[in-house]
A and B are shown apart, each in its own frame.
Chain A
Amino acid sequence: MTNLLFHFIKDGILHALKGSKLYFTWLISLVALIGIGVFAYSIQISEGLKVTGMTDHVSWGLYISNFTFFVGIAAAAVMLILPAYIFNDADFTKVALIGEGVAVSALIMCLSFVTVDLGSPEKVWHLIPKLGYFNWPNSMLAWDVLVLNGYLALNLLIPFYILFSHYRGKEANKKKYFPFILLSVFWAIAIHLVTAFLYAGLPARPFWNNALLGPRFLASAFAAGPAFILVILSVLDYSTGFKIQKRVISKLALVVAIAAQINLIMLGSEIFKEFYHPTEHSSSAIYLFFGLHGHSALVPWIWTAISMNIIATLMLSIHKLRENHKILMGLCIMLFLAIWIEKGMGLVVPGFIPSPIGEIVEYSPTLVEVGITTGILAGGMLVLTVLVKVAIGIELGTFRSDAKDAN
């Protein structure tokens, strides 16, 4: 068994390193971008976080924005897992593995983003229960550490079991993995709610301190996540022998459309509350949408995001447009970018502006921050590429174990 496991891993790595010229160009460009990220991080390590644009006023920036957004992408894998394993929709069973791959890569990005955001990363061992001091259940951040790592473990474990079975030419025993599937469905909701509560639990920041934040996180995640997965599936359908059925695409597109509609309703509700009778607590929203006392760094960004969001949602709601594959891809990319801006920088940064005692200090990321962020995004894409390559290889039967007597 151990021997077989070793072969599985070796074959997997070898398989991931086989491919066309285009595939290699893709891998090498990702590695180059990771290199830039590592270099930028080395600067941050030696100089401290002062090489970022963050200050005591805006103490979280690009890293935590991206962290928040990608937790949503990780959670969205549930939109494939739910129909595939729980509703036994045969069309989805094949692509569920891709969804889990997306979840794993998104989680690796999330954990990297929080790590690079730490001022003293060498002390992360303080988080290990017993050895350190894990402030659970009081700190929502402790909860987040727990749920993110748990979700990562689940999303590694389930596909690993299924793929390893297929590798040995066996069917995976559903009885064995079904409880974990069930757990991962609830866990997916939990990771995103907990991340929302991280913000919503702070009365110091009225912009975040609202009950709608959690549900809104879920709605936007279930729009942006499946939109991202749809693009990935199309790329796979186009470039590999792994053919995606039309029904899967149109069902997922419907999920994206409905989630995007719900997200817009919630956005409207938030805007109404902030602007019908603006109070002192509306300052952040005023800053974000219209600028405050001449400070308006985020205004062009948020209006770009809102326009893209509205256009994409409206067009996705029209069956004819959604059924057209090229238009669908365009709309998915548009919606993904819109939510990335809105839920990342558009949510995290204005929470700090103005400060709790009314001071306005704006934020914009530095080159170092952009470099590190790019490196992490490239790292996530690299993980996704390798996982998907191996999964497809096994599912298409291009690489299997020769040992038939394995137990």
Chain B
Amino acid sequence: MRLKDLRHKIMSALKYDRSLASKEIKSDCHSDSIPPTTCPKNPPKMVGGAFGKKTSRRAAIGLAGGGVGAAFAFSACSNMLDEETKDKLGLSWEEFFKKNYRLMTDQEKGETVKRIEKLAKVKNNEIINVSDTPAKDGVLFGYAFNISKCQGYMDCVEACVKENNQDRESNMQYINIFEMENGNLNIESGNSKYSHEVPVEGKFYLGTQCFHCEKAPCIEVCPVGATWKEPDGIVVVDYDWCIGCRYCEAACPYWGRRFNWGAPQIPNEELNTEQHYLGNRKRGKGVMEKCTFCIQRTRKGLQPACVDACPTGSRTFGNLLDPNSEIRYIIENKKVFRLKEDLGTEPKFWYYMD
């Protein structure tokens, strides 16, 4: 039965493609060389300036090698396609052939952010605000977690899912809260699947997420450099550059990464529209994601959603380079520890107890 459904979906997808292709054939001026005057009506304005501006090496290679895509792009002067479809195709084309975010100039970063906003509008009718705010000088983010205070309510988990636009269908979560037996700090004997009333007598609670390691094993294994550590210490993923090999997921000793096994589903009314390129913007099918310390919030000086949501005050986030910060106070004055310190990954996530 499942196979049948799948086949139906495939067939409908094919139909959609064919309808596009037939429109393509009808257009009689699908080449660059034909002057615009031969178009039946005035050619609509090019979208995003892709074809008007000097062709970059990447775009040139893309055009030379492109098959179907190139045909779509060249159809820009056709009046058989309505403006909206052209917008979509042109923008998607430029998005597909853009660079790794780290290699982009500030101007290119700004352009892709604009394209993403525009695509969200024309494709899904979403008004979103994508930021590309860079790291601030003199900032290195760190996190502390008080295991004597946490009661296991999981408000943080819920807030994180909402803030970061995680896939609702697979119930993706960045944060795990482990219920642990008193007297045992071994996380492997903890239980993160509890669904009873908390807190339970004789237990304590410990949360994990991406620890934004200073020496992160996930970064070096990526074959395409799609994940890296930003100057403020946040380990990020370029969702548009990730090819989905999942080597980083295998390399993480803390199970901090999550993969989009299908296309993420988020109800429109629940979408968080305040987004960051390296943060909570919508991910595609088949790419990796993870906690970004809520980069879209923290680079604006706000606290991560999990910290804000915590009713017990177990979570502390701040700038490790600021000697007056609360996080520095905790590290200097409490008995702190980190998970699997023997691996030399240097997590920027400390646990402590009162």
Q: Which residues of A contact B (CB under 8 A)?
A: 42-43, 46-52, 54-57, 59-60, 114, 117-124, 126-127, 131-135, 138-142, 145, 198, 201-205, 280, 283, 351-352, 354-359, 367
Contacts and interface: CB of A to CB of B under 8 A. Distances in A.
B133 interface: no
B247 A139 contact: yes
B261 A49 contact: yes
16 contacts: A51-B6, A56-B249, A56-B259, A57-B255, A60-B250, A118-B286, A120-B284, A123-B242, A123-B244, A133-B226, A133-B241, A134-B223, A139-B223, A145-B223, A203-B217, A358-B190
Contact of B252 (A198, A204, A358): A204
Contacts of B148: none
A155 B63 CA distance: 32
Contacts of A126: 100, 224, 226, 241, 243
A114 B246 CA distance: 11
Given A203-B343, A280-B188, A367-B3, A133 B224 contact: yes
Interface in B1-29: 3, 6-7, 9-10, 13
A127 B243 contact: yes
B188 A358 contact: yes
Nearest to A144: B223
A138 B263 CA distance: 30
B13 A46 contact: yes
Contacts of A131: 58, 61
A135 B225 contact: yes
Contact of A59 (B103, B189, B190, B250): B250
Given A46-B9, A138-B220, A357 B261 contact: no
A142 B18 CA distance: 37
B170 interface: yes
Contact of A352 (B187, B250, B257, B287): B250
Nearest to B58: A131
A120 B6 contact: no
A135 B223 contact: yes
Interface in B168-207: 170, 176, 178, 186-190, 192
Contacts of B188: 280, 283, 354, 357-358
Contacts of B260: 48, 119
A55 B171 CA distance: 12
Given A42-B10, A43-B6, 8 more contacts: A60-B246, A119-B286, A126-B241, A127-B224, A131-B58, A135-B223, A139-B247, A356-B340
A139 B72 CA distance: 36
B263 A119 contact: no
B208 A55 contact: no
A59 B249 contact: yes
A126 B263 CA distance: 21
Contacts of B337: none
A46 B226 CA distance: 23
B110 interface: no
Contacts of A47: 6, 9, 262
Contact of B251 (A114, A117, A204): A204
A124 B176 CA distance: 32
A355 B255 contact: yes
B278 interface: no
B245 interface: yes
B49 to A, nearest CB: 22
Nearest to B188: A358
Contacts of A142: 223
Contact of B222 (A122, A135, A358, A367): A135
Contacts of B10: 42-43, 46
Contacts of A132: 100, 224
A131 B252 CA distance: 28
B254 interface: yes
Given A47-B9, A56-B258, A118 B243 contact: yes
Contacts of A117: 245-246
B254 A141 contact: no
A132 B286 CA distance: 18
Counting chain A CB atoms within 10 Å of each CB, the highest count among B10, B186, B253, B261 belongs to B261
Contact of B286 (A42, A49, A56, A359): A49
A386 B208 CA distance: 53
A127 B223 contact: yes
A124 B6 CA distance: 25
A263 B145 CA distance: 47
A43 B261 CA distance: 13
B285 interface: yes
Contacts of A57: 255
Nearest to B65: A125
Contacts of A50: 170, 261-262
Contact of A203 (B3, B253, B258, B286): B253
Contacts of B259: 49, 56, 59, 119
A214 B114 CA distance: 48
A56 B261 CA distance: 9
A135 B61 contact: no
B246 to A, nearest CB: 5
Given A48-B260, A55-B261, A204-B217, A119 B58 contact: no
B221 interface: yes
Minimum-distance CB pairs A-B, first 7: A119-B244, A119-B286, A358-B188, A204-B253, A50-B261, A50-B262, A141-B223
Contacts of A356: 252-255, 340
Nearest to A124: B243
Contacts of B222: 135, 139, 141
Contacts of B247: 139, 141, 198
Counting chain A CB atoms within 10 Å of each CB, the highest count among B189, B221, B284 belongs to B221
B243 A202 contact: no
Interface string B279-291: 0000011111000
A354 B190 CA distance: 13
